[in-house]
C-alpha cells in the first residue's frame, strides 16, 4: 500500500477502534417541540425530497468516507446497497488514491453498480490548489467518470491537514480554485467542511462563486483532529499528537453552522448538515433548522464494515426515527418541517 492507501486504512480503523467523537454533541442542545395533536397519520409522513434535481426517498446523504484501499470497496458496496434500497444520496471518500493508483478505481466505482439517485465525487481543497486549474479540471473529470457523479465535492479539511504528520495545508488561493472549478464543471460543485463547520463570513465568500450548495460539516461528531491524534501517536510523533489533542473539539457546532450559513446566503443554497448525526432524531433537528438534508458518516461506518444486512438495518432504523420525529411535531412534509418550532440552547 502507498502512503495515501495506508492513511485511508488508518482513518477507518481508528474510527472504529478508538473514541474519535468530539466531547460534546451539539444536537443535544436542540429540542423539537412535541405536538400532542399532530393531526396527521404517521404513515402519511412524506420523506421524499429533491436535491440537486434528483429525487430522493429521504433527505439523508451517506457521507463520503472511503474507497482508495482494498477494504474500502466492501464498505462502499454495503453502503451502496442501502443507498439504492432507500434511494438516498451517497458520497465516496477522497478519490486522490485512485488518481495516483488507477488499480484502486473500482474501490470507488463499485457504487456505479447500484441505482443510487445522487452520487458525490470528493477531493480535498489542498489538492486542487496544488494541481492548478488545468490539472484540476482533468482530474475532476476522471473522478466524476469513476463513479458517474452527479455532484462534485471540494472538501475543506485544513484542521486535519494541520495536524496530519504528512499534511498539506495549502489554503492560499483556495477560494479562487473553487470558483474556477465551479465555473468549468458541467455538474454542480458543492463545498463541504469535514468537522470544523462553516461560518457566515466564509459562506458569504463562497456564495460569490457558482457553487451549488454547502455541506456545513460542523463540530460535534467525528473529530478529524482526534483521528490524527491517534495516527500521530502510533508513529510516536509527539508534536502532532499533542496539537491534535489540543484541537480535538475545535470548530463551529453543526446546528450553529446551519443557521450561520442559511442566514448568510438567504437560505438560497441547499445546505447539507453533516457532523454528529447519530440517529433520525438528530436528522429531524437538522431539517427543522433549515437544512435540506442530513449527512451521516460514522453512524453508518460500523454497520458497513459488518455487512449488507447490518447496513440496511442501520439505515432503516435512522429513517424510522426521522419519520417518528416528523410525526410527533406534526410535520407531514419536509417543507412543513422547516416551519415548526425549535428550542435552541447553544
Ligand X SMILES: Cc1cc2nc3c(=O)[nH]c(=O)nc-3n(C[C@H](O)[C@H](O)[C@H](O)COP(=O)(O)O)c2cc1C
* Closest CB to ligand X among residues 72, 330: 72
CB of 67 to ligand X, least distance (A): 8
Q: Using DSSP, how many helices (H) and how many strands (E) does the chain show?
A: 15, 12
Q: What's the grid cell of residue 178?
A: 473553487
Contact present, 274 and 60 (Cβ < 8 Å): no
CB of 20 to ligand X, least distance (A): 7
CB of 332 to ligand X, least distance (A): 27
Phi, psi of 32 (to 5 degrees): -85, 145
* Closest CB to ligand X among residues 299, 328: 299
Q: What's the grid cell of residue 224?
A: 478529524
Query: Minimal CB distance to ligand X: which residue?
Result: 221
* Closest CB to ligand X among residues 75, 259: 75
Measured CA to CA, the distance from residue 120 to residue 95 in angstroms comes to: 11
CB of 252 to ligand X, least distance (A): 13
CB of 41 to ligand X, least distance (A): 31
* Closest CB to ligand X among residues 65, 111: 65
CB of 259 to ligand X, least distance (A): 18
Identify the bridge partners of residue 222 per DSSP, sorted by sequence position: 21
Site residues (vs ligand X, CB under 6 A): 11-12, 15, 63-66, 93-94, 122, 155, 192, 194-195, 217, 221-222, 274-277, 296-299, 301
* Closest CB to ligand X among residues 15, 136: 15
C-alpha pair distances (Å), 298 with each of 16, 90, 223, 232, 285:
9, 14, 10, 21, 18
Contact present, 123 and 30 (Cβ < 8 Å): no
Interhelix angle for 298-306 vs 70-86, to 10°?
A: 110
* Closest CB to ligand X among residues 49, 122: 122
Amino acid at each position: 500500500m502507498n502512503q495515501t492507501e495506508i492513511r485511508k486504512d488508518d482513518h477507518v480503523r481508528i474510527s472504529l477502534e478508538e473514541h474519535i467523537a468530539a466531547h460534546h454533541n451539539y444536537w443535544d442542545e436542540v429540542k423539537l417541540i412535541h405536538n400532542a395533536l399532530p393531526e396527521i397519520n404517521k404513515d402519511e409522513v412524506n420523506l421524499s425530497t429533491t436535491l440537486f434535481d434528483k429525487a430522493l426517498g429521504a433527505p439523508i446523504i451517506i457521507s463520503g468516507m472511503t474507497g482508495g484501499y482494498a477494504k474500502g470497496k466492501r464498505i462502499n458496496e454495503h453502503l451502496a446497497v442501502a443507498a439504492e434500497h432507500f434511494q438516498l444520496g451517497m458520497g465516496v471518500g477522497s478519490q486522490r488514491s485512485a488518481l495516483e493508483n488507477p488499480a484502486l478505481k473500482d474501490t470507488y466505482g463499485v457504487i456505479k453498480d447500484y441505482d443510487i439517485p445522487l452520487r458525490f465525487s470528493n477531493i480535498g481543497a489542498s489538492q486542487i490548489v496544488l494541481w492548478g486549474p488545468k490539472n484540476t479540471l482533468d482530474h475532476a473529470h476522471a473522478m466524476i467518470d469513476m463513479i458517474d457523479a452527479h455532484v462534485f465535492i471540494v472538501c475543506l479539511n485544513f484542521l486535519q491537514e494541520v495536524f496530519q504528520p504528512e499534511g498539506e495545508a495549502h489554503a492560499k488561493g483556495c477560494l479562487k480554485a473553487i470558483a474556477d472549478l465551479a465555473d468549468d464543471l458541467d455538474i454542480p460543485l458543492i463545498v463541504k467542511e469535514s468537522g470544523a463547520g462553516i461560518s457566515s463570513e466564509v459562506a458569504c465568500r463562497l456564495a460569490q462563486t457558482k457553487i451549488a450548495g454547502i455541506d456545513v460539516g460542523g463540530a460535534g461528531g467525528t473529530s478529524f483532529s482526534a483521528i490524527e491524534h491517534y495516527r500521530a501517536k502510533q508513529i510516536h510523533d509527539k508534536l502532532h499528537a499533542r496539537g491534535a489533542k489540543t484541537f480535538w473539539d475545535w470548530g463551529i457546532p453543526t446546528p450553529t453552522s446551519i443557521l450561520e450559513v442559511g442566514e448568510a446566503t438567504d437560505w438560497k443554497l441547499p445546505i447539507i448538515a453533516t457532523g454528529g448525526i447519530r440517529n433520525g432524531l438528530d436528522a429531524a433537528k437538522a431539517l427543522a433548522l433549515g437544512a435540506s438534508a442530513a449527512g451521516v458518516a460514522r453512524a453508518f461506518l460500523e454497520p458497513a464494515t459488518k455487512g449488507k444486512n447490518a447496513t440496511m438495518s442501520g439505515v432503516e432504523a435512522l429513517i424510522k426515527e426521522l419519520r417518528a420525529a416528523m410525526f410527533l411535531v406534526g410535520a407531514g412534509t419536509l417543507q412543513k418541517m422547516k416551519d415548526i418550532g425549535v428550542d435552541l440552547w447553544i
